[in-house]
Structure 1
Amino acid sequence: MTPALMRQADPALRPATAMNSAADPRVLGTIAMPGVAVALWQRQPDPGFQAWLDALHPDQLPRLRQVLRPQDAPAAIAPACDASALPHGPHRQALTDQIAALTTQAASHLGALLVTLRIEVTAGQTCPKWHMDGVRARLICTLRGPGTQFGPASGPDDVAHIQQMPTGHAALFRGRAWGNGATGILHRSPPAQPGRTRLVVVVDPVDEAASC
């Protein structure tokens, strides 16, 4: 067998295209398994909390971009909520707790001592092109509005069999900087829907520059 054919046959060089999903957050750790490109945590939002969050005026939704230790996420989220005049109460606390848990889970499963936490509010399609992120891996969770779309690459900027994350579900996506085992899954922001504002949490390992 020629060296070229040997490289072609090496499973380690094949793009990862598998997705693991479960209601247990430990499923996020399977992103490190050979062949896995997406690890999906099937979080089920509390109906009362979701109704409260969906009813908020977009101006009341917190916005944040900060490099921090995972354990410092609650302290960073509080002033972001204050800045948007988000009322104090059990639902605001639940929002803080959920974002902090997402941050901690991402950092734990990626072995990151520091992360970049982004809380984004958007009514448009911020990343309309199919892409993979220029990071080792990225956690994405849409807490309000339509979730991220993804699917196996059918070309450099297109996918076959589009799937969409349900609201509240969280996923780790392998990025271009993963190393051995490139990803064969692309993703993008969902098309904008009139009158619908998204609240999206994104967590990256801090040692990599976040890029859409």
Structure 2
Amino acid sequence: MTFAIPRIATAMNSSTDARVLQTLGMEGVSLALWERSLPDELARELDALPPERLPRMRRRLAVRHVSRAIRQSCEDADAGACSKQLADVVQELSKLAMGVFASPMLELRLDVTDGQPCPKWHVDAVSGRLLCTLRGPGTEYGPIGPGGKPESIHRMARGAVGVFRGALWPGQELAAIVHRSPPREAGGTRLLVVIDPVDDAGAC
């Protein structure tokens, strides 16, 4: 009996063109990064909100319901001033995630964090994940090295969109780009968009 030796996917593709996200499915690619900025008006409105008024949510839903869900979260948090622009941005991210992951259902989170909730370098226990920081310092990432720590450390810019392979990515390649929350000293409350595909059984 012979066993296939898993290949290690360590490549990172980045571009100012959103189509780069589709390269996550290419051989050897563990991270595709769309380098872009938030609309200035949305960035100002989010920065002006006290942390307790930043919208929070965690829901499984189809892309067509995302905009309404974001608007409702903004209303619940008394963050109505930014609801339309935020809904438009997250709706776009959800459409991109649906295309990259070929998943009509998504698990969408708006996480508000202070400090470093995920300090350990890791690969997520999902097939894939989209991350985009809307406020505060961006996610740190790098190619895995000895001991599970990255050989080099990079930080996503605010507004940049990264799609990462997770531990459950299908195929024979092992995801080898790890990431973590930025250290506390990076400063500021974060608002992070997290989007995962939902499989046919309804589990991420």
TM-score normalised by the chain length of structure 1 = 0.88
Query: Is 1:190–2:187 an aligned residue pair?
Result: no
Name 1:28's counterpart in structure 2.
Answer: 21
Cα contact 1:135–1:209 (8 A) shared by 2: no
CA–CA separation in structure 1 for the residues paired with 2:139 and 2:73: 23
**Mapping of 1:155-194 within 5 angstroms?**
155-180=146-171, 181-193=173-185
Determine which of 70, 74, 84 is the counterpart of 2:67: 74
Cα contact 2:136–2:187 (8 A) shared by 1: no
**Mapping of 1:97-136 within 5 angstroms?**
97-136=88-127
Distance 1:15 1:64, change over 3 A: same
Cα displacement (A) at 1:156: 4.5
**Which segment is superposed worse, 46-55 or 174-183?**
46-55
Unmatched runs of 5 consecutive residues or more in structure 1:
none
Q: Which amino acid aligns with 1:46?
A: P
- Helix, strand or coil at the partner of 1:159: coil
| Deviation string, structure 1 residues 135-180 (Cα, Å, up to 9, x no partner) | 1110000011001101111135311110100010010000100122
Query: Is 1:52–2:45 an aligned residue pair?
Result: yes
Greater Rg by CA:
1
Q: Which amino acid aligns with 1:45?
A: L
Q: Which amino acid aligns with 1:105?
A: L
Distance 1:205 1:194, change over 3 A: closer
- Helix, strand or coil at the partner of 1:127: coil
Cα displacement (A) at 1:194: 7.6
Give the % identical residues: 43
- Helix, strand or coil at the partner of 1:143: strand
Q: Which amino acid aligns with 1:153?
A: I
Name 2:191's counterpart in structure 1.
Answer: 199
- Helix, strand or coil at the partner of 1:179: coil
Unmatched runs of 5 consecutive residues or more in structure 2:
none
Structure 1 segments of 4+ aligned residues over 3 angstroms from their partners: none
| Deviation string, structure 1 residues 31-90 (Cα, Å, up to 9, x no partner) | 0000101000112222332122112111111000000001110111111111100134xx
Cα displacement (A) at 1:209: 4.6
CA–CA separation in structure 1 for the residues paired with 2:185 and 2:47: 14
Q: Which amino acid aligns with 1:34?
A: E
The alignment's C-alpha RMSD in Å is 1.7
CA–CA separation in structure 1 for the residues paired with 2:146 and 2:176: 10
